[in-house]
Amino acid sequence: MTPQAFAVFGNGQIGYVRPIRSENVARFFPELTLVPGMELFTLHAADGAPLMVTANRLAALASAREYLLDPL
């Protein structure tokens, strides 16, 4: 599988929930300013595009379902 094909594999169907530290959130969401030291969770599309950030994993999983994505 080529890198280009892999980048869109599952796009629109799969979402990735990942833990992230609040001091790293600006990398994906530059408009957010957060207090350092918090553990948060992000939801990303299969191609890596950030969709949302939340305070807990359950909310990220619920958001994936709202986007009609199967969370991984």
Closest by CA position to 22, among listed 10, 32, 7: 32
In terms of residue numbers, what domain contains 24?
3-71
**Token pair of 57 as six digits:** 């994993």
Q: Look at the chain and report how many structural domains it folds into.
A: 1
**Would you state the pLDDT for residue 46?**
82
**Would you state the pLDDT for residue 9?**
58
DSSP letters of 7-61? HHTTTTTEEEEEEEEGGGGGGT-TT----TT-EEEEEEETTS-EEEEESSHHHHH
Residue 23 has pLDDT above 60, yes or no: yes
- pLDDT mean over 46-56: 91
When pLDDT is cut at 50, 70 and 90, the band that residue 4 belongs to is low
Residue with tokens 């709202």: 66
